[in-house]
Every structure is written in structure tokens, then in C-alpha cells.
Amino acid sequence: MAMKRIGVFICHCGRNIAGTVDVKRVAEEIGKREDVAFSTTYVFMCSQPGQKLIEDSIKKYNLDGVVVANCSPTLHEKTMRNAAARAGLNPYRVEIANIREWAAWPHEDNPEAATRKAIRIINATIEKLKANASLEPIEVPVTRRVLVIGGGVAGMQAALDIADSGIETILVEKEPSIGGNMFRLSETFPTLDCPQCILTPKMNDVGGHPNIKLYTYSEVEDVEGFMGNFKVKIKKKATYVDWDKCTGCGECLRVCPAHVDSEFDLKMAKRTSIYIANEQAVPLKALIDENSCIRLQFEKKVKEGKIKPKKNVKICSKCADVCEPNAIHFQNNEEIVEEEVGSIIVATGYEVMPAEAFPELGGKYPDVITALQFERLLAPSGPTAGIPRRPSDGKIPKSIAFVHCVGSRDPQNGVPYCSRICCMYTIKQAMLVKHALHDAAVYDFYIDIRSNGKGYEEFYHRAKEEYGVNFIRGKVSKVYKVGDKYRVQGVDTLTGRIVEVDVDMVVLATAAKGSSTVKELAKKLRIPYDEWGWLKETHLKLKPLETPVGGVFIAGAAQFIKDITDSVSQGSGAAAKAMALLSKPQLEKEPLLAKVDPEICAGCGRCKDQCAYDAITIDPIRHVSVVNEALCEGCGACSANCPTTAIQVVNFKKGQVVRAVDVLAEVF
């Protein structure tokens, strides 16, 4: 039944709309329509009196539909629908006509045209509204479990908060230990806490929490399902060691003859082929890296027929020989496990650009390293026990230059954005060098110091006033070798001259990017990311933790590079979002979804091919399309492709949309 008693409410939005659009005239024009029972204007429709006006008018004029002409529906559609519901009108009988963004703002210079356009937009909206059906939200069941991907500080915080609330949490980390990049750091600005001291309690809490199921050295293989009901396949990578038996004693590490660069120490140290991620790893378990293990490489070559095993030759099994609990079995124990969860939090963190990407800044030399590598040399638990040494010859440097903004703020050679944390960590590292080596000369080349956090500017001033760090304003253009030293060619833009200094070591604050694995993961989750690997939030200001996929949240540096304080806050924030979602036994979902008329549907399957959410199947018996309401997002791609209009989105039916477009397309 088409509506006959529609109410139209035109908002002034202060002067935002009324300053350009003649709202009085609009109300009068619209009021002339036969199907409009009441039409008026008000200064702020979203205010409490504005909403009250809608409620009272619905009752007074017995309205059967409402159009509110104001701002974008993303802002106040919900407000207005709730107001209508309070007055007993089905909320899906309310539509928003956006006359602010579409009429008032773009035509500020032409009030007459803006007014006529506003009238037209409202008329079109009424045409659409007239055939709206009354709807009820759809209820879907929900699994009360959460998956957190990434075991850095953000992911750990999220997992702990959720687990503490009594909800079972699954934490998947691709490395053998949780801890993330923070666990690599020496000390943390601006308080100079030691991360090993402040992070291990959290790591142990995660490792021992009754509500946390920890999968380290694992990756998400596949994700199916929808908000409240995800099915996730997790690949546990091969460790060749039985972790139920391994006690983490480390005996095997002492005998293994094969050595490779340590991932945890970012090539600043070696590890053995059988290894434990680090001394405080959680879980503290050994695993074999198949690419460097003498035995596994041998077995592989035999299998590929590349070599023939001679009899009586003993192939290395030194680790297994010393392993008391007999944990090392050399068997490929890769495994796929399945978990069901209601919500997913992605906290996959960041990576930094390698020094090698900047040969002009000396990245090709061994003593020119990234700041993250330098963290390992400054860490008391690191390979040099906190006294930095040159990677090339192990000498203690007498002078060090730090270079800011390497690749950052540089769309030609890196990324356009400011990496945000490097000013602070460079200042921190400069201070720590002075702690460790009192008479080392430290030069800090910066473009400008960005220290916008609590206690940050004060931290910078301490470095200047108390630590004897030399700050020089200007970007370094090149670093080259002169004898045993590295010549840094910079500039001092404050005095206006080139500045040169010879140093023993150079530390590059290279740009941060999203985790290199994140793009593949994001595709599995169907969440968007940008070209630098940062996950995209739904709204930068108001929905920074949400993604367009319901039930999937993001936290920490995975969204954009940030410091620990912000990463932890986001971890807790995402946890709260997931918990709110799982707090109800059923989830409510907007009923504006695709519906199939089986009488018309020919089962051609064109709709199925279009659906980005895999919501459509073709019933093999009846040979018609079937929509999974829980999966459908109501985008309408199916409907646009259906040759027979059998599949249509509720309240966006073909007749409705076409009538609205007809009004809009009339000659102006």
C-alpha cells in the first residue's frame, strides 16, 4: 500500500542549509503534494526538540511515512528512525533527503538553484519512500569466541581484555613467540622503561590464561562466514619438534652446528638451526628451521633424488641426541586446525623499510643500519649486551650519526607520510648511546622534531639540555665511506650551509609500513588496505577500529604506525568492540537485504557471480537463487545484474529507484 499521509521535516542546520536554501519555500512547495499530510521546518532537526517535533507530528497527523530533509544519512538516519519508532511508526518508513551535502553546500553561490534542487531531492525521496515496507531487524546467532591475529602488544592487550571478561580467545602469531616488535626494543620513550621488564608479565599472562588458546608459528589460512559466525582455518607451521615434550631447556641449541641470521635480532646476531625465538619467549619452545638444518636439507635432497644416501653415513642428529625428553622427531608436523569465532581482531603491526633500500645513505655498508636493528644493539638482553658495537668489526663506535625521515615524507623514494614514531625513538636512541658510551659524539640530523605526545616534548628537551646530543636541522643527502669512517653530508638550514661530519656508525630512521603479510590476510578477511599495507578503518575519526566487514576490527600499528601507548589503547578498544558484539545471545542485523522472488527467478546464477560476500547459492532442486541473510550486505550488485528483476534489495526495489531517478532526471 503506497503511503498517503507523509510528513516532511526540513532542517535549517543552523545556517548550513537555511543560509542558502529557502527552507520556508521548500516546505510550502512540498506541502502542496497530495500524499503529504504535513510539512514544516525546524532549526536543528537532530536536537531533542527537533526529534520531539517528529514524534508529536506522527501522532497528531497520523503519519504513515516520514522524510527528513537534512544532512547525510550516515549522520542522522538512525536518530530520525529511532524518533519515529518512539512514536509507534516503523523505522523503515523514515527516509533521509540529503539537502545539505547535495544542495546547500555545493550551490552556496546560487540560492535559487539550491532551493529548487532541494525540492527535487525531497520529491524523489518521497517517491522512493512511498513503496517502503515495514521491516523488522533480522536476528542471527553468534559464537561467543574471538580470534586475535598478531601477538604484539596490541594483540596481546586485546586478547587479555577479552579473556578476562570470560570469553574464550584464540591468538594467532606467525612468529614462534609472542611479543611483537616491542619485545625487540631496548628501552621505551618517554619513560625509558625496559620492554623486557614490562612486557614479559603480559606475555606470561597470555601464555597461561585459561581462556586464551595460543597458536604461535601459525597463520590464518582461510576465513569463511560472517559477523557472529566465522569459520577460520589456521595453519600451524612445521616445527619438527614435539612442543608437548619440549621443556625449553636449550640443550639442543648448544650442539647444533648450523648457523644462520637471527630473525629476532634482525641479522645483528646468528642463531642455530634449531632455535628458541629468544630467551624470554612465550611459549619457550624449540623449533627447527628446515631451510638450514643439515639433516632436513639432506633428507629433502634425497627425496628429490638429487643425492643418493650412502650406507653407514651418520647424518647430523646432534640436537635429538642431547634432547632428554625426546622431543625432536624431525617429522613435518604442519597441521591445519579449524576454529569458530564470532569476531576477529587484526593486530598485525608494522615493519620498517630495510637500510639496503637507501644505498645513497650508506645502506649498503654494514655499519649503516636501521633504527630497529640498532634497538637490538642497545638492548641489555641483545647480542652486544646493550653496548653498541659496529656490525663490521665489533668496535665500539666513538661517534654515531642518526638520520631522521629516511623514506618518510618522501613520496619519490619511500612513503608520503610521516612515520610518526621515529623522531621520538631516534631521540631515545641518542640518549641511550650517551648512557652506554659517555664520550661518544652523537649527531642527530632532523627535518623537524615531531614530538606530539604526553611527555614527548619534555623528553626531547632533556636530550638537548642534559644528554649532550647534537641536533642539526636538515635532511642528509648522502653517506659514503672515507677510510674506516662514514662521511655524513647534511645541511644546516638554520645557518644556511652544508655540514659534514665523519662518524663510525650511522643509524637510519627508516619509514614504517604495514606487515608484509597483511595484504594477503586482508584479502582473506575481505577488509581494505592501502598501498603501504595499512589496514583501512571505516571512519578515520569516528570508527578507527572498525572495518567495513561486520565483526572484524583492527588495532595497533596494523591500522597505522603508532607508539606503544596508542597501540595498547587500541587493543583495549577493539576488545571492547568485540565484547559488545558478543554480549547478546543474538545479533541484530539491518533487514535491507536482497530477496528473491522464486516465481520469477530462472536460476541463471548471474547474481551469484556478482556477490562479493558469497551470500548467494543456487538451490539445486528448485533451481532458484537463495540468499543467506546473515552474509548479505544489501549492496545491490546482484539486483543490478538480474535479467528478470527476480532478486531485489528490500526497500530499494526497481520501481522505487526508477521513480526517484525519474524525478531527479527531469529537465531542470
Partner 1 sequence: MKYTITKDPHEDERVQKIIEISGQNIFSCYQCGRCSSGCPMAEFMDVLPNQVFMFLQEGDVDTLLNAKTPWICAACFTCTVRCPVGLDLAAVMEAIRELQLRKNYDYVDPYKVEEREELPPIAMVSNFRKFTP
Q: Report if residue 498 touches partner 1, rule: CB under 8 A.
A: yes
Binding piece for partner 1, criterion CB under 8 A, among 495-503, 537-545, 559-567, 651-659: 495-503
Considering only residues 358-417, where is the footprint of partner 1 by CB under 8 A? Answer: 399
* Per-residue DSSP letter, 268: S
Residue 219 near residue 173 (C-beta atoms within 8 A): no
Return the exposure string of 159-182: e unless at least 16 CB atoms fall within 10 Å of the residue's CB, then b.
Answer: bbbbbebebbbbbbbbbbbbbbbb
Q: Taking CB under 6 A as the rule, which mask of x and - marks residues 279-308 in contact with ligand SF4?
A: ---------x----xxx-------------
* Residue 266 interface partner, choices ligand SF4, ligand FAD, partner 1, none, CB cut-off 5-8 Å depending on type: none
Phi, then psi, of 224 in degrees rounded to 5: -125, 165
Q: To the nearest 10°, report the CA torsion of 285, 144, 517, 530.
A: -150
Binding mask 453-482 for partner 1 (x = CB under 8 A): -------xx--xx--x-xxxx---------
Measured from the CB atom, the residue of 39 and 408 that comes closer to ligand SF4 is 408
- Which member of 29, 127, 161, 175 binds ligand FAD (CB under 6 A)? 175
What is the smallest separation between the CB atom of 80 and ligand SF4, expressed in angstroms? 43
CB neighbourhood size of 378 (10 A): 22
Give the span between the Cα atoms of 394 and 388, in whole angstroms: 9
Local structure of 584: helix, strand or coil: coil
Report the residue from 29, 444, 537, 563 that binds ligand FAD according to the rule CB under 6 A.
563
418-457 residues near partner 1, rule: CB under 8 A: 441-443, 449
Among 155, 342, 362, 573, the residue binding ligand FAD under the rule CB under 6 A is 155
316 binds ligand SF4 (CB under 6 A): yes
Site for ligand SF4, residues 418 to 437, rule: CB under 6 A: 418-420, 422-423
468 binds, among partner 1, ligand SF4, ligand FAD, none (CB under 5 to 8 A by kind): partner 1
From candidates 7, 50, 176, 180, binder to ligand FAD by CB under 6 A: 180
> With CB cut-offs between 5 and 8 Å by kind, which of partner 1, ligand FAD, ligand SF4, none does residue 182 bind?
ligand FAD
500 binds, among partner 1, ligand FAD, ligand SF4, none (CB under 5 to 8 A by kind): partner 1
The reply to whether 515 sits near ligand FAD by the rule CB under 6 A is yes
Q: Which is nearer to partner 1, 374 or 460 (CB)?
A: 460
Nearest approach, Cβ of 562 to ligand SF4 (angstroms)?
11
Which H or E run includes 276?
A: none
Contact (Cβ atoms closer than 8 angstroms) between residue 144 and residue 342: yes
Q: Which of residues 430-459 bind ligand FAD (CB under 6 A)?
A: none
Min CB(61)–ligand SF4 separation in Å: 59
Rounded Cα distance, 215 and 336, in Å: 11
How far apart CA 632 and CA 627 sit, in angstroms, is: 7
Distance separating alpha carbons of residues 242 and 248, to the nearest angstrom = 11
| Helix/strand/coil for 168 | strand
Binding flag, residue 496, partner 1 (CB under 8 A): yes
Residue 415 binding ligand FAD, by CB under 6 A:
no
Beta strands in 259-320 (DSSP E): 259-261, 270-272, 274-275, 287-288
Stretch that binds ligand SF4, among 53-61, 255-263, 341-349, 579-587 (CB under 6 A): 255-263
Look at residue 151 and give the partner it binds from ligand SF4, partner 1, ligand FAD, none, a contact being a CB closer than 5 to 8 Å depending on partner kind: ligand FAD
Among ligand FAD, ligand SF4, partner 1, none, the one that 569 touches (CB under a kind-dependent 5 to 8 A) is none
Closest CA to 345 of 169, 566, 562: 169
- Cis before 190 (ω within 30): yes
Pick from 150, 283, 391, 490 the residue near ligand FAD by CB under 6 A.
150
| 334 touches 215 (CB < 8 A) | no
Question: Which set of grid coordinates corresponds to residue 298?
Answer: 639432506
When binding is defined by CB under 6 A, the residue of 401, 507, 508, 557 that contacts ligand FAD is 557
Nearer to ligand FAD, 36 or 535 (CB): 535
CB of 558 to ligand FAD, least distance (A): 6
User: Using CB under 6 A, which of 428, 450, 473, 653 touches ligand FAD?
Assistant: 428
Q: Name residue 490's amino acid.
A: G
Residue 653's binding partner, choosing from ligand SF4, ligand FAD, partner 1, none, with beta-carbon cut-off 5 to 8 A by kind?
none
CB within 8 Å of 658: residues ≥ 6 apart: none
- For residues 506-545, which are near ligand SF4 according to CB under 6 A? 509
Q: How far is the CB of 372 from ligand SF4 (least distance, A)?
A: 13
The conformation of residue 506, written as its DSSP 8-state character, comes to E
Report the 10 Å Cβ neighbour count for 317. Answer: 13
Cα 359 to Cα 274: distance, rounded to the nearest angstrom: 33
Closer CB to ligand FAD, 263 or 299, in the complex: 263
Distances, alpha carbon 576 to alpha carbons 122, 162, 178, 502, 528, in Å = 39, 8, 22, 52, 22
Q: Which amino acid is located at 536 in the chain?
A: K
Our finding on whether 1 is near partner 1 (CB under 8 A) is no
Q: How many CB atoms sit inside 10 A of residue 56's CB?
A: 12
Q: Which does 465 bind (CB under 5 to 8 A by kind): ligand SF4, partner 1, ligand FAD, none?
A: partner 1
Q: Do residues 230 and 222 lie in contact, with contact meaning Cβ atoms separated by under 8 Å?
A: no
CA distance 429 to 463: 10
DSSP secondary-structure letter at 223?
Answer: E
Between strands 399-406 and 441-446, the pairing is parallel
Q: Which of 112, 338, 492, 662 binds partner 1 (CB under 8 A)?
A: 492
- Please say which residue, 66 or 274, places its beta carbon nearer to ligand SF4: 274
Please report which residue ranges of 533-592 form alpha helices under DSSP H.
564-582
The strand ranges marked E within 308-455 are 335-341, 343-346, 350-352, 368-370, 399-406, 441-446
The 10 Å Cβ neighbour count of residue 609 is 11
| Cβ 280 to ligand SF4 shortest distance, Å | 22
Residues 516 to 555 in contact with ligand FAD, rule: CB under 6 A: 517-518, 521
**CA–CA distance, 490 with 499 (Å, rounded to integer):** 5
Cβ atoms of residues 13 and 100 within 8 Å: yes
Whose Cβ is closer to ligand FAD: residue 449's or residue 521's? 521
Q: Give rounded-to-5 percent helix, strand, coil for the chain.
A: 30, 25, 45
Choose from ligand SF4, partner 1, ligand FAD, none: what does 470 bind? Cβ within 5-8 Å by kind. partner 1
Q: How many helices (H) and strands (E) does the chain have?
A: 17, 32
Which CB atom, from 53 or from 223, has the smaller least distance to ligand FAD? 223
Q: Which of residues 534-573 bind partner 1 (CB under 8 A)?
A: none
User: Which of 91, 152, 391, 397 touches ligand FAD by CB under 6 A?
Assistant: 152
| Site residues, ligand SF4 (CB under 6 A) | 255-256, 258, 272-274, 288, 293-295, 316-319, 404-405, 408-409, 418-420, 422-423, 447, 450, 509
| Site residues, partner 1 (CB under 8 A) | 399, 441-443, 449, 460-461, 464-465, 468, 470-473, 492, 494-501
